[in-house]
A and B are shown apart, each in its own frame.
Chain A
Amino acid sequence: SQQGEEDPQALSIQEGENATMNCSYKTSINNLQWYRQNSGRGLVHLILIRSNEREKHSGRLRVTLDTSKKSSSLLITASRAADTASYFCATDSMDSSYKLIFGSGTRLLVRP
């Protein structure tokens, strides 16, 4: 079963606009991670945010975490055509930290 659920399932924006993706999960976690996947290939790690953190930045990426609402958001600012990909959130759980549980992803299309 999938713990994380991303919203929206698909997003189409113009180059230069910001893209926001949301993720909800069900159980208590140690951390939440965001990954990018291009064309059904391997996942690229973007950012990890721990359960005691509320916000984290990495370049054009901004991630927030609200453990009371069991939700996270990924903001990509000033999007580029190269950002076109699927984005997944992944969580571990406090009672089973070895595996990552992924949502079904948000497919982002950035139009030139």
Chain B
Amino acid sequence: DAGVTQSPTHLIKTRGQQVTLRCSPKSGHDTVSWYQQALGQGPQFIFQYYEEEERQRGNFPDRFSGHQFPNYSSELNVNALLLGDSALYLCASKVGAPSETQYFGPGTRLLVL
């Protein structure tokens, strides 16, 4: 049973560029959340997708957008990259009911130069 997978593992971009990160949820899971983790900090919630709709959004600018596909996989897009966007981006999946465990992928390390 495959867990949550993310691609790519590492990514280097320059300021102003755009980036797309990908996530495949754990088998049987239909809800995907994205988190940003800066060095030395805890993860910060970006948004959550369920039934291909953004269900909730954290305190992130519109430069951060996402999508969920019919197979429940998801993408995180970040436009006009800033140096401060350098972080580990984590995807988590769960079944749709609230108050259930979220399972995290290994993350994508993004470096913006």
Contact = CB atoms under 8 A, between A and B. Distances in A.
Interface residues of A, number: 28
Contact of B104 (A4, A40, A43, A50): A43
Majority secondary structure, A binding face: strand
Nearest to A103: B42
Contacts of B55: 98
A40 B88 contact: yes
Contacts, number: 69
Interface of A: 1-2, 4, 30-31, 33, 35, 40-45, 48, 50, 88, 90, 92, 96-105
19 contacts: A1-B59, A4-B42, A33-B101, A40-B37, A40-B107, A40-B109, A43-B90, A43-B104, A45-B103, A48-B101, A50-B99, A88-B43, A97-B99, A98-B48, A98-B98, A99-B58, A100-B43, A102-B44, A104-B41
